[in-house]
């Protein structure tokens, strides 16, 4: 009887051990998956090569130029055009740097009707335009004067702006080769935009197109 009880006890122990062994692989697998998930959720150690968050510790904020060259490249500029003493004209110009040059849009009002010569001059000084305080036409390449459709010309030769009977006029032109960079030999920045009383006659009249007395002037400034 005692033997029979001992045998039964051993059989029960064996069955329990067998049952535990049956589920052991599943338990081990579950523990492994949990451990792997935990490892994935661990923060990676910083080794000095990780990418920093934008603007963190690099001294450059998002949207700001990060090289000296980019800082020198002004994208937009503007001109407030004021009338010379005794003249009538008011207006403005917007300049935008493009991939190959500078686009200029000039709008005037309260001006006498007709075709008016318009140029970028070499000096940003409108204090005495009758006395040519703004200097000559801007010509860094050394070309002769001409109209935009006559080939090589002064870089500052913008042609003519047509003013209607209502006193308003508009000119849009892209000057290839020009720029708005600081301290660049072909930059319009800091130069004077001048509108004259008469028509610019182009290459037929040297050295400046015989466009008459300056009537309006403004300096190209970063906007």
Q: Which 3-state string (H, E, C) describes 90-136?
A: EEEEEEEECCCEEEEEEEEECCCCEEEEEEEECCCCCCCHHHCCCCC
What is the token pair recorded at 161? Answer: 């702006």
Dihedral sign, Cα of residue 19, residue 20, residue 25, residue 29: positive
Q: Distance between CA 28 and CA 99 in Å, rounded? A: 64
Q: Is 63 helix (H, G, I), strand (E, B) or coil?
A: coil
Question: Is 52 part of a structural domain of the chain?
Answer: no
Question: Is 135 part of a structural domain of the chain?
Answer: yes
Regarding whether 142 and 92 lie in a shared domain, the answer is yes
Q: What's the Rg (C-alpha) of the chain?
A: 39
pLDDT score recorded for residue 38: 45
Per-residue pLDDT in tens (0 to 9) along the chain, 223 residues: 444 444 443 454 444 444 454 554 554 444 444 444 444 444 444 343 333 344 444 443 444 444 555 556 689 999 999 999 999 999 999 999 999 999 999 999 999 999 999 999 999 999 999 889 999 999 999 999 999 999 899 999 999 999 999 999 999 999 999 999 999 999 999 999 999 999 999 998 889 899 999 999 999 999 9
Q: Is 218 helix (H, G, I), strand (E, B) or coil?
A: strand
Cβ atoms of residues 111 and 167 within 8 Å: yes
What is the token pair recorded at 205? Answer: 């009249």
pLDDT score recorded for residue 69: 52
Q: Distance between CA 207 and CA 187 in Å, rounded? A: 21
CATH code assigned at 186: 2.60.40.200
Regarding whether 179 and 80 lie in a shared domain, the answer is yes
Regarding whether 148 and 93 lie in a shared domain, the answer is yes
pLDDT score recorded for residue 108: 99
What is the token pair recorded at 12? Answer: 């029960």
Q: Distance between CA 179 and CA 220 in Å, rounded? A: 12
Question: Is 147 part of a structural domain of the chain?
Answer: yes
Regarding whether 87 and 171 lie in a shared domain, the answer is yes
Regarding whether 33 and 86 lie in a shared domain, the answer is no
Q: What are phi and psi of 88, to 5 degrees?
A: -125, 115
Regarding whether 218 and 155 lie in a shared domain, the answer is yes
Regarding whether 27 and 84 lie in a shared domain, the answer is no
Domain of residue 5: give its range. 1-44
Question: Is 50 part of a structural domain of the chain?
Answer: no
pLDDT score recorded for residue 74: 81
Regarding whether 40 and 1 lie in a shared domain, the answer is yes
Q: Distance between CA 168 and CA 27 in Å, rounded? A: 87
Burial of 11 (0-12, 13-18, 19+ CB in 10 A): exposed
Question: Is 172 part of a structural domain of the chain?
Answer: yes
pLDDT score recorded for residue 72: 62
What is the token pair recorded at 210? Answer: 């015989």
Regarding whether 131 and 216 lie in a shared domain, the answer is yes
Nearest alpha-carbon partner for 159 in 212, 217, 211, 206: 211
Question: Is 201 part of a structural domain of the chain?
Answer: yes
Regarding whether 215 and 110 lie in a shared domain, the answer is yes
């Amino acid at each position: 009887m005692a033997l029979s009880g001992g045998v039964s006890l051993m059989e029960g122990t064996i069955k329990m051990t067998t049952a535990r062994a049956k589920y052991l692989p599943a338990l081990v697998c579950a523990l492994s998956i949990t451990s792997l998930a935990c490892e994935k959720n661990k923060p990676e150690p910083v080794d000095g090569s990780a990418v920093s968050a934008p603007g963190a510790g690099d001294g450059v904020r998002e949207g700001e130029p990060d090289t000296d060259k980019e800082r020198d490249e002004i994208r937009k500029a503007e001109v407030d055009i004021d009338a010379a003493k005794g003249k009538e004209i008011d207006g403005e110009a917007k300049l935008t740097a493009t991939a190959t040059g500078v686009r200029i849009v000039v709008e005037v009002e309260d001006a006498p009707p007709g075709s008016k010569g318009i140029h970028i001059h070499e000096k940003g000084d409108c204090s005495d335009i009758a006395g040519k305080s703004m200097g000559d036409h801007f010509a860094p390449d050394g070309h002769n004067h001409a109209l935009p459709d006559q080939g090589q010309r002064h870089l500052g030769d913008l042609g003519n702006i047509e003013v209607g009977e209502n006193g308003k006029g508009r000119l849009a032109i892209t000057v290839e080769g020009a720029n708005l960079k600081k301290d660049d030999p072909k930059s319009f920045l800091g130069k004077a935009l001048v509108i004259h009383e008469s028509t610019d006659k182009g290459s037929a009249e040297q050295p400046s197109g015989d466009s008459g007395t300056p009537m309006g002037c403004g300096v190209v400034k970063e906007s």
